[in-house]
Amino acid sequence: MISVDNVSVHFGSKVALNDVSFSVKNGAITSLVGKNGAGKSTVINVLSSYLPRYSGKISKQRLSVMPDADNLYRDMTGYHFLKMMNSIKKNKSMAQTDALLRELGIWDSRETKIKDYSFGMKKKVAFIQAYIGKFDTYIFDEPTSGVDYAAAKVMMARVRTLAEKDKAVLITSHDMQEIEKVSDSIILIANGHINSQGTLAEISEFLADKKLLTFVSLPEDQVKLVALFNKLGYITVIDDQTSKTSVKNAPADATELLQKIIENNITLKGFYEELPSLIDVMDAI
């Protein structure tokens, strides 16, 4: 668990974080999302104690932080470095490290010096270093940037395992689709302020006009369905290839609308709500 209350950070006259409050709960993946310069690294640096000067209150438990890929021991081999970290973290065996090296596809390069690794290979070593050991809270700053798709999937599955073990996990990423997929809670940061924190449904509430309620009808019923929606004053988006009709200004409770559809003898194959995407949210803040 991390609890950040009214934290501010100044770099000279520049206010990097302005009265920031949020929490990172156990058993969940929390993502910190914001544009370049929003304040994500400053949050992580202050949590990791790299920035000792701040005002406000931070409560945290034993923390493991993924290091910067360029801050690893350059002259050691990946394996030598991880063996050293494994022993510092008092792990009894290398089993977990070996498994991760294999899963992330760098087992065969383990005896190569870190300075001769590609950026993505360094990120993998940095991820493993943060992952091994027993901590309460884990911070992964852009773990998958520059990492191949297969390895990024492995990383995110491993991050999920930590949350399932009731650890608190904070990650950052510029990959909005990845964030949407993995996050239990999203913290939106903009210009050093926390804009909002919650699930995608919660943080996108202000974009209610972008929410769509989509109905899948029999192809022959679509014209009737569209006519009904128009009669009821709804704005529709029609896809006649898939027989999907979406309603833009749908009510929060669709019960009455469904009753009207049934009364008009229209057969539905399904209906579902489409939330605004995280990209829509980012575009709007």
Strands (E) across the chain are located at 2-11, 14-24, 28-33, 55-60, 63-65, 137-141, 168-172, 185-190, 193-198, 212-217, 236-239, 244-247, 268-274
Nearer to ligand ATP, 58 or 235 (CB): 58
Chain contacts with ligand ATP (rule: CB under 6 A):
11, 14, 16, 34, 36-42
Q: Which residues contact 262 (CB under 8 A, 6 or more apart)?
A: none
We find the least distance from the C-beta atom of residue 141 to ligand ATP, in angstroms, to be 8
Give me the least distance between CB of 251 and ligand ATP, in Å please: 38
Cβ distance to ligand ATP smaller for residue 40 or 167: 40
Q: Which is nearer to ligand ATP, 141 or 221 (CB)?
A: 141
Choice between 39 and 276, CB closer to ligand ATP: 39
Distance (Å, whole) CA 36 – CA 228: 46
Q: Which is nearer to ligand ATP, 50 or 272 (CB)?
A: 50
Shortest reach from residue 10's CB to ligand ATP, in Å: 9
> What's the Cα-to-Cα distance from 232 to each of 229, 238, 244, 263, rounded to whole Å?
5, 16, 18, 14
CB of 33 to ligand ATP, least distance (A): 9
Q: What's the min distance (Å) between Cβ of 276 and ligand ATP?
A: 22
The distance of closest approach from Cβ of residue 39 to ligand ATP in the complex, given in angstroms and rounded to an integer, is 4
218-222, long-range: CB < 8 A, 24+ apart: 218/243, 218/267, 218/269, 219/243, 221/266, 221/267
Contacts for 13 with CB less than 8 Å, ≥ 6 apart? none
Structure tokens at 174: 């510029």
Of the pair 63, 190, the CB lying nearest ligand ATP is at 190
Listed in sequence order, the residues at least 6 apart from 283 whose beta carbon sits closer than 8 Å to its beta carbon are none
Q: In what order do the strands lie in the sheet with 212-217?
A: 236-239, 244-247, 212-217, 268-274
